Amino acid sequence: MSAVAYDNPTAVKKKRRFDLAKPTGISLVVLAMLPLVIMPLLSIFVFGFSKGPLHFWEALVNPAAIFSLKLSLITSSVATVCNVIFGVLAAWVMTKYEFRGDSALMIIISLPTAIPTAVAGFALLLLWGPFGLLGQFLEATDWQIMFTTAAIILANIFVTFPLAFGTIKPALENFDTNLEDAAETMGASRWQTFRYVVLPSMRSAIVTGALLTFARSIGEFGSTIMVSGNMMMKTQTAPLYIYARYNDGDVEAANAIAIVLAIISFAIFSLIMIFRKRLER
């Protein structure tokens, strides 16, 4: 109801007066979004294809570019799988059991999203690095974690830790426990109940959580640049590649990968929207 109608109840019955607030408000939002969101996104595409599609293609099929994309996809996928498994487990524990310190554990699980990514990367370095708490023991062996693919995965896991958990837990909380009771009286073990009854009902939540984790992982920059060493063809993920190419003045190469990342993100985002709708049902 508009402000006018609120002040004067009889106004509702009359033909509603033209309300200037509506078009003004909408215009303001769009105007703000233009330089803040819409134009920057458009410019990658405009600039990327400005020298023709062939140029874009050449920049894209550069081995280092392909490698960085592959590495990003692989590390993000592994991190996603890990965090979905962890998310399901943690959601199960946190909803099914009450125990001392459960709220403290809840805070710790949720913490990683609040920590700046550079800090997260730095923390990992301190732990696994050559002089780190655990890293000093690795130093004696052939095993290395920092500045390898494993480090990137670790960093991705850290920064996306609570995302899958965050979508799975509410779904588990809303789950009708009568269904578990029913399965149990029918003879199902706890695992069978979980496998056949609980898990299928959480499918949408799990997929949404996975997509969120993946989307966040694939764009991760701050922690990755700390722990990976940013070595081309070795530990350079796509976002790092964009940054490195740009620093070298090779804007086209940076732009080509930026476009690919943007498209991947749009795709994931659309999927998330679809599954969100399903979750709400």
Partner 1 sequence: MARPMVMTLFPDTQAFAQRQTDAQPALSVRNLTKRFGDEIVLNDVSFNVAEGESLVLLGPSGSGKSTTLRIIAGLETPDSGEVVLHDREIEHLRARDRNVGVIFQNYALFPEMTVAENIGFGLKIRGVKARKRAEVIDRLLDMINLSDQRDKKPRHLSGGQQQRVAIARALAYEPEVLLFDESFSALDPHTRVGLRREIRQLLRKLRVPALFITHDQEEAMELGDHIAILNKGRLEQLGTPHEIYNDPQTEFVATFLGSANVLKGEWQDGLIRLDHGYFVIPPHEAFDIHIDDGERVKVIFRPEDVLLSTTLGIAESPYHLGEGEVSEVKFTGATEAVTIRLLNTQLRPQRPQLVTSITQHSEAKAKEFFIKALRSKWDARRVRLSPGDRVSIGLKAHKLLRGDRE
In the complex, minimum distance from the CB of residue 278 to partner 1, in angstroms, rounded to a whole number: 12
Nearer of residues 198 and 226 to partner 1, judged by Cβ = 198
Instruction: State yes or no: residue 280 binds partner 1 (CB under 8 A).
Output: no
CB atoms near residue 117 (< 10 Å): 20
Residues in contact with partner 1, shown as a per-residue x/- string from 155 to 194 under the rule CB under 8 A: ---------------------x-xx-xxxxxxxxx--x--
Nearer of residues 199 and 231 to partner 1, judged by Cβ = 199
Chain centroid offset of residue 69 CA: 16
In the complex, minimum distance from the CB of residue 106 to partner 1, in angstroms, rounded to a whole number: 26
Among 201, 230, 243, 246, binds partner 1 (CB under 8 A): 201
In the complex, minimum distance from the CB of residue 275 to partner 1, in angstroms, rounded to a whole number: 15
Nearer of residues 134 and 179 to partner 1, judged by Cβ = 179
In the complex, minimum distance from the CB of residue 178 to partner 1, in angstroms, rounded to a whole number: 4
Nearer of residues 131 and 191 to partner 1, judged by Cβ = 191
In the complex, minimum distance from the CB of residue 208 to partner 1, in angstroms, rounded to a whole number: 16
Euclidean distance between CA atoms 53 and 48, whole angstroms? 8
Euclidean distance between CA atoms 30 and 199, whole angstroms? 42
Contact present, 145 and 248 (Cβ < 8 Å): no
Under 8 Å CB-to-CB from 104, ≥6 apart: which residues?
A: none
In the complex, minimum distance from the CB of residue 88 to partner 1, in angstroms, rounded to a whole number: 16
Q: Mark out the alpha helices in 101-202 (DSSP H runs).
A: 102-110, 117-128, 135-139, 149-173, 177-185, 190-193, 199-201
With CB under 8 A, what is the number of residues at the site for partner 1?
18
Nearer of residues 113 and 201 to partner 1, judged by Cβ = 201
Among 203, 276, 277, 278, binds partner 1 (CB under 8 A): 203
| Chain contacts with partner 1 (rule: CB under 8 A) | 176, 178-179, 181-189, 192, 196-197, 200-201, 203
